[in-house]
Structure 1
Amino acid sequence: MSLKICCLAALALFSTKIMAQKSNLNYPKTEKGNHIDKYFGADVADPYRWLEDDRAENTKAWVKTQVAFTQNYLDKIPYRNDIGKQLKEIWNYEKISAPFEEGNYTYFYKNDGLQAQSVLYRTNTSGKTEVFLDPNKFSDKGTTSLSGVSFNKKGNLVAYSISEGGSDWNKIIIMDVETKKILDEPVTAKFSGASWYKDEGFYYSKYDQPKEGSQLSGMTDMHKVYFHKLGTSVSDDTLIKGGADFKRRYMSIGVSDDERYLILSASDATNGNELYIKDLEKKNSEFVAIQTGYDFNTDIVETVGNTIYVSTDKNAPNKKLQKFDINNPKVWTDVIPETENVLSISTGGGFLFATYMKDAVSIVKQYDFNGKLMREIALPGKGTAGGFGGKKSQKNLYYSFSNFITPSTTFKINAATGVSEVYQKPNVKFSPENYISEQVFYTSKDGTKIPMMISYKKGLKMDGKNPTILYGYGGFNISITPSFSVVNAIWMENGGIYAVANIRGGGEYGKKWHDAGTKMQKKNVFEDFIAAGEYLQKNKYTSPNFMALSGRSNGGLLVGATMTMRPDLAKVAFPGVGVLDMLRYNKFTAGAGWSYDYGTAEDSKEMFEYLKSYSPVHNVKSGKCYPSTMVITGDHDDRVVPAHSFKFGAELQAKQDCKNPVLIRIETDAGHGAGRSTDQVIAENADIISFALFEMGIEKLNK
């Protein structure tokens, strides 16, 4: 059942009922304190500092009143339930992952449609399929998720990780694959997988547990690497690296596929890493430093005997693949040289698969391990391809392909011939042939050309009155590539436009593109986003009264900064789980690790003043009319703590100078985003779509 937006000519007019509702906004009272911080002699007021204590009774009471206020407002949107029903209907299709082989079984994930969490199945050599792990049975609410699985080489042991309420803290549970008997006590870890070494045990990373009462917000700035030996207590786990003599904020550790090398990557920020290798075949060997300092990003891709293959941006901003001999680790030679397009590498079936990103769209080439080009993989269109990974012995590999109007389809590829065939095509109630997804290039404030993808239903009239969501991220070298979403499908089905701007700060054009949106150049990101909105409006896709700004995490900062810099740009804003207090973000959890992108208020007077000049919490001004805003956060977010959203929402509610509402949507039993139940995701997106349309003046929907 599709919904059609009616009365397009009159969309800018609110009904008397809606206007009356807006005029009676009585926000919950938020007490203001008198806390003041000093930065380089400057006083900075922080009246809502008390909201940082998310476990205090007064904060809990405030959250309760905000939740009630938000729900009361949303309950009055006449078509909110209809949108929720349509989302539920389109969501209800079978989702099956690509299979992977471990030991005597082939494993795959499947969600029947509306299950809270996807279930891990396995098929044995005789073709019998059974449930292996069902995270829906981990908790009554479906909010405990399966965040990772790691099998040993034989495939007879597994370490699987669970996250409770969306927390980044995971419990690693060890199990015998055949009997499903739990072995040993759970291992608590954060930002870690489990890397097995033979049948002896596994390596993992963790922080010391924050003190009682600060589990969500306490700083986690000293990662340590341990080895857990099967059959022993966690308290007896061996410290491999970390502590006062080797203090690093992030460390990941893994054993090579041939189980010869132990590989350690260490860093103090989210960009740049040190790299160390230990030869496990040599008794009492030490880690050998392959790369020190944090100027470059280098990762080991594969090991073949003494030869180590690495992907690096050292002297190659778009990355290249190199190799070296473990006995002469200072001499590196090219295998796949740098090109004008950003490179990422995967291995499988005894080959290298190079995925290039050209204007945010995938091109895939297959090489042998000597760097000889075998072929370019024929993709079904312009979009995002991912996968191609697997064991060296695999004959068939799998990859996915999607774009903004093509549901993600899984393909099987013969590694020897390069021939692909459809493996799994989802049965989504969506017809791509009825939609358009076009790429345009627009000019930012400083003359930089920025790509943007704009997707919408065919036949849409470009009269400036189309409800439009402009989405962006712009940070941490993360690229926003075309992908299908049933939420966006509903938005477009009902006359909406979905636009994604590939702004600076991301990785779409390599390290230079990333660096152009960091520290003292961070405002480039916001200017790029503003220019995207202006392009859409100038070309009559939409207009300010019909535009919504959307972004999450660093994208939440993007929305918060944009709406405070240019409150007239859009009618609606969705800063989701955002980094919004730029003077204090580094005081919580692993926030200090984001300093490569942001800098910190303690770095210098110049850096402090620059951060303060765009920090959303510090730039809400009295007497301004800000967009209708839904600040989104989760009460268990221990990555970007909810205090960011609490303080920003409180500032907006106190200073908003027009009838545009400011809601703070706080999801309970939810973290930064991963691991939420299907019901939670559907409910949030129903609220987002209905709030956006309602605030744009759409009075009703016709069936």
Structure 2
Amino acid sequence: MLSPPEVYPSAHQLNVIDDYHGTPVADPFRWLEDPATEASREWTQAQNQLTRSVLDQPVRSVILKRLQTLVDYERASAPVKRGNRYFFWQHHGLQNQPILYWQKRFSEEPRPLLNPNTLSKQGIVSIMNTEPSLDGKWLAYSQAQRGSDWQEIHIRNVETRQNSEEVLQHTKFAGIAWHPDHSGFYYNRYPDPGTVNEADQTYYNRVYWHSLGSDQSEDILVYERPDQKDFDFWPRISPDGAYLTLTVHLGTDRRNRFYYRPLADTDGTFVHLLDTADAHYRFLGNQGQRFYFYTDYQAPRGQVIAIDITRPEPEHWETIIPETEDKLDQVMIADHHFVCAYLHHAHHRLWIYELSGRAVQEISLPTLGTVSNLQGKMHDNELFFSFSSFLFPARVYLYAFKTRELSVLSENSPDFDPEAYTTRQVFCHSKDGTAVPMFLVYRKDLEPLQELPVMMYGYGGFRNALTPNFSATLIPWLEQGGIYCQVNTRGGSEYGTDWYRAGTLAQKQNVFDDFQAAARYLIAEGITRPDQLAIRGGSNGGLLVAACMLQAPELFGAVVCQVPVLDMLRYHRFTIGRYWASDYGNAETDPEHFAFLKAYSPLHNVKSQQVYPPVLITSADHDDRVVPAHAKKFAATVQSLSPESVTLLRVDTDAGHGAGKPLSKSLEEFADIYTFLIQALQLNWR
């Protein structure tokens, strides 16, 4: 059983008071926002030492060994075809990072092209984006260190595996669009340091042309919007090679703009085809001047439309695939067909349509699960994709358009028997009566389910739909008789734009209500008890579980709060936090936003002397997406106001928000999570 320490590491409090529209708000632990001060470093070190004293138990090594065994198997991505070459990632067992391979035929031995494991012994160098040239002879790839979102682009000769001398810097979430003649590519990046104020380093995104073999200083500026410093651009060249297109985003808001110009007209101006940001528009491809888009314009669950760029007014738009009861989640063009993955109650169905919109075939999938990594080209007759589910390790499929047959390209399984487990979907009803789906995964021999330990997971934001996916790190929990529950709260895109918007801004409380309703359902059905119910979430999901812990502490026996967003009044001031205002709002600029943000902001809703369930809060020293200040200030606040509660802070080193995290670090973290849950829920781990 977990007990709080006699004394938590000392954290001095400052007399910092902010004024929000006439309301004073204290921020006594603001000094923890600066990780470089001696006081901040010493406090963080003391927190990690406290956490290690709790988590370094004998059972941890047993858990870690089982996790290592479970992930020690081969797994591959769906291939990408460029020219006559297929490129794919292969993860070999316990390697920290996957390796990129290529081959000309699936019957031949793959050739390694890029192995990030050789770039760092600790696996802290990761590859974030790869884009082969259209002839398959060159590879441009983005490389990041220690989990940072900042990346640099390198260029490699596929045949010789030698890199060009140039390195392109100051990129983050960059698009790479190779020219059809393979002489170079378009990409987007941020200003050189020193050319703008430090506060503007992640503003003023620009599009450049880079010629292969030249220095970055010689790159040609293609497009910028100094009048709109918040705009981010994503360049792409149309499948027929006729147009350079720009998708224009404002933060994480999916409502975007779309510009284009003839590729050959290098001095031409961009046509602002869609410039009102009234909906989400994703360019799919074109046939001459007929441009195809996925959009939620007047279709919350999504549709496919065609726009004749010679008559671009909305009254001339043509609906190709109309909105259905299911959410159109993914769509792309392969072999002159639309390939559409629909979300049906949070799991995928896969359909093929002609470009006219006529339905051709539904591709039968093995179980309730997730389609990902759809790959194909307008003029290729092959479609590749991955499919997985909670108990179904990722399998790569090849669909042949000529024969309409589906075949397995690669599959591997870890050391467990999926037949011993089952998945079922149930629905609970939220506070306002909304039906909320949730998946339960457990051992078959546990039925009927009665007062068992449950780990409940949620996210609830940014249109991120939670679908059934395989993770070997979940298996130890299931093996030990635990139930995994995944809740599809509002704020995701499971049922389209309306479902998403019902979990944003002033309606964000719906997300917390949905999650708490799921907990109450599990308890009312006798599936679990509060002292056996753990909740887990990361990033925006960390906000979710922290808010629920504070609003309904009586429902939960343990909380795992990973890389969380917790200071909802100041989140926009850190790195790219401003991008999230479309989901959260901005407390500084809008009094109404301040009111609803302060009402649920975890940092500002900790009650004095209230005993909360044990919580493990995780962060990482190089997380430049959700900075560690969120986790640190929240931990200090709970420890100060509720010293009777168990509040542990784990700050990882040489790691970031999660993308590109070395496998070894991920396994260490899960070993810590399970060790924490064993003690918090008093489990008998065998």
Fold shared per TM-score above 0.5 = yes
The amino acid across from 1:317 in the alignment is P
Check whether the contact 1:505–1:514 (CA below 8 A) recurs between aligned residues: yes
Maintained 8 Å contact 1:219/1:588: no
* 8 Å CA contact 1:185, 1:233 repeated in 2: yes
How far apart, in 2, do the equivalents of 1:34 and 1:219 lie?
30
Work out whether residues 210 and 220 of structure 1, in 8 Å CA contact, stay in contact via their aligned partners in 2: no
One of 86, 89, 106 as aligned partner of 1:109: 89
Aligned positions of 1:433-452 closer than 5 A: 433-452=419-438
Measure, in 2, the Cα distance between the counterparts of 1:211 and 1:448: 51
CA contact (8 A) 1:537 1:543 kept: yes
Paired with 1:26 and 1:664, the residues of 2 have a C-alpha distance of: 15
| 1:555 alignment counterpart | 541
2:384 aligned partner: 398
Mapped to 1, the partners of 2:421 and 2:200 lie a distance apart of 47
| Alpha-carbon distance, 1:406 to partner | 1.6
Deviates more, 1:159-168 or 1:183-192: 183-192
Amino acid corresponding to residue 14 of structure 2 in structure 1: G
User: For 1:568, what is the secondary structure of its paired residue?
Assistant: helix
C-alpha distance in 2, partners of 1:694/1:219?
A: 44
Give 5+ residue unaligned stretches, structure 2.
none
Residues 467 and 693 in structure 1, CA contact (< 8 A), matched pair in contact too: no
Q: CA separation in 1, counterparts of 2:23 and 2:656?
A: 34
1:162 and 1:104 mapped to 2: Cα distance? 25
Choose which of 121, 129, 136 in structure 1 pairs with 2:117.
136
Is residue 361 of structure 2 the alignment partner of residue 365 of structure 1?
no
1:668 to partner: Cα distance:
0.8
Paired position in structure 2 for 1:248 = 230
Q: TM-score, normalised by structure 1?
A: 0.93
Distance 1:692 1:701 in 2: 10
Shift of residue 49, structure 1, vs aligned partner: 0.7
Is this contact kept in 1: 2:206–2:233, CA < 8 A? yes
Identify which of 209, 213, 221 aligns with 1:227.
209
In structure 2, give the amino acid aligned to 1:99: P
Gaps of 5+ in 1: 1-13
**TM-aligned CA distance change 1:287 to 1:229, over 3 Å:** same
- 2:271 is matched with 288
Instruction: Provide the C-alpha distance between the structure 2 equivalents of 1:218 and 1:463, rounded to a whole number of angstroms.
Output: 54
Distance in 2 (CA, whole Å) between partners of 1:161 and 1:601 is 35
Q: Which of 548, 569, 572 is the equivalent residue of 2:555?
A: 569
Bigger mean CA deviation after superposition, 31-40 or 463-472: 463-472
1:239 counterpart residue number:
221
What is the RMSD computed on CA atoms of the aligned residues? 1.9
Supply the distance in 2 between the matched residues of 1:218 and 1:481 (Cα, whole angstroms). 37
Query: Mean alpha-carbon deviation: is it higher for 639-648 or for 289-298?
Result: 289-298
Matched residues in 1 for 2:481 and 2:5: separation?
A: 30
- Alignment match, 2:647: 662
2:155: which partner in 1? Answer: 174
Query: 1:682 maps to what in 2?
Result: 667
- In structure 2, what residue type is equivalent to 1:701? W
SS in 1 for 2:14: coil
Distance in 2 separating the partners of 1:160 and 1:425: 26
Q: Indicate the residue corresponding to 1:269 in structure 2.
A: 251
> What corresponds to 1:196 in structure 2?
178
Say which is worse superposed, 94-103 or 517-526, in terms of deviation. Answer: 94-103
Give yes or no for the alignment of 1:342 onto 2:327: yes
Cα deviation, residue 163, structure 1: 1.0
Q: Secondary structure of the residue that 2:661 maps to in structure 1?
A: coil
Tell me what 2:312 maps to: 329
Contact kept in structure 1, 2:154 and 2:168, CA below 8 Å:
yes
Q: Do the aligned partners of 1:225 and 1:253 also contact (CA within 8 Å) in 2?
A: yes
Tell me which of 68, 71, 79 is aligned to 1:88: 68
Which of 69, 72, 84 aligns to 2:53? It is 72
Give 1:592 deviation, angstroms.
1.0
Shift of 1:299: 0.9
Deviation at 1:131, TM superposition (A): 1.5
CA distance in 1, matches of 2:614, 2:266: 64
Amino acid at match of 2:685: L
Q: Secondary structure at the match of 2:484?
A: strand
Change (3 A) 1:452 1:150: same
Q: How far apart are 1:376 and its partner, in Å?
A: 1.0
CA-to-aligned-CA distance 1:139-185 (integer Å, 9 cap, x gap):
12111011121112222221111110011111100122222332242
Mapped to 2, the partners of 1:415 and 1:33 lie a distance apart of 66
Matches for 1:687-698 after TM superposition, within 5 Å = 687-698=672-683
Cα deviation for residue 600 of structure 1 reads 0.7
CA shift, 1:563, in A, is 0.7
Counterpart AA for 2:80: F
Query: Aligned residue for 2:28?
Result: 47
Q: Counterpart of 2:338?
A: 352
Displacement after TM superposition at 1:25 (Å) = 4.2
Q: Is the 8 A contact 2:78 2:374 kept in 1?
A: no
CA offsets 1:538-573 (integer angstroms, 9 cap, x no match): 111111101111111111110111111111111111
- Counterpart position of 1:701: 685
Distance verdict in 2 for CA 1:184–1:256, change over 3 Å: farther
CA separation of 1:100 and 1:141: change in aligned 2, threshold 3 A: same
| Aligned pair partner of 1:187 in 144, 168, 171 | 168
1:517 maps to 2:503:
yes
Residue 11 (structure 2) aligns with = 30
User: 1:587 maps to which residue?
Assistant: 573
Identity of aligned residues (%): 39
Residues 248, 266 of structure 1: 8 Å contact kept: no
1: CA distance between counterparts of 2:629 and 2:112? 40
Distance in 1, matches of 2:200 and 2:440, equals 41
Tell me how far 1:463 sits from its aligned partner.
Answer: 6.2
Q: In 2, distance between residues paired with 1:282 and 1:226? A: 15
Query: Partner residue of 1:313?
Result: 296
Deviates more, 1:512-521 or 1:342-351: 342-351
The alpha-carbon deviation at position 289 of structure 1 amounts to 1.1
SS in 2 for 1:65: helix
Label 1:23 to 1:481 Cα distance change in 2 as closer, same or farther (>3 A). Answer: closer
Shift of 1:446: 0.7
Distance (Å, rounded) in 1 between the aligned partners of 2:448 and 2:634: 35
Instruction: Tell me, yes or no, if the aligned pair for 1:622 and 1:657 is still in contact at 8 Å.
Output: no
Q: CA deviation at 1:315?
A: 0.7
